[in-house]
Amino acid sequence: MNNFDKRYFERYHKRKNIFGLEKGERPFLYSFWIRKLKKLVPRGTKILEVGCGAGYFLKWLEREYNVTGIDISVDALEIAKRNLKQASLYLGSAEDLPFENNSFSVVIAFDLVEHLKEPSRFFAEAYRVLLPCGFFVNKYTKSRIFWK
């Protein structure tokens, strides 16, 4: 079931891209979303990234926000621990989030939904952990952010 093992991360996240960054890093995408979030939510807001992988986006987010990441891959979280200073990291499934109801102002999921067996379970979980008037961010929203 979990093919996001050490070999996957060595192959896809440790190779350098044409900008000299690890292949998993996407500064253009991250800076776009950071600018959007700064307009919508104040500094220190609680944000959850589901499927955080090696923590590349969390690294950007933790400069401004109180961030938590969750991923199904132990190997990804090991890399994330090295990349991050203060983010809370959890091992777990997107379809069964281990957080209380109404825990986060923002839930982010990049490159996740297409890997899930039951995406509807994830969306229900994301909705459950969002605070009222919270925001859900997904790369497929094409600059739109959905709110609860």
- Per residue in 56-112, pLDDT (tens digit) is 899 999 999 999 999 999 988 998 999 899 999 999 999 999 999 999 999 999 888
Is 106 a domain residue?
A: yes
Domain that holds residue 42: 6-147
Confidence of residue 2 (pLDDT cuts 50, 70, 90): low
Evaluate whether 145 touches 135 at the Cβ level (below 8 Å): yes
Cα atoms in the Cβ-side hemisphere of radius 13 Å centred on 20 = 0
User: For 34-45, what is the mean pLDDT?
Assistant: 92
Q: Quote the CA–CA distance of 109 and 102 in Å, as a whole number.
A: 17
The CATH number of the domain where 126 resides is what?
Answer: 3.40.50.150
Is 1 a domain residue?
A: no
Predicted local confidence at residue 20, as pLDDT: 60
Is 120 a domain residue?
A: yes
Helix axes 6-13 and 74-83, enclosed angle (nearest 10): 50
**What is the number of domains present in the chain?**
1
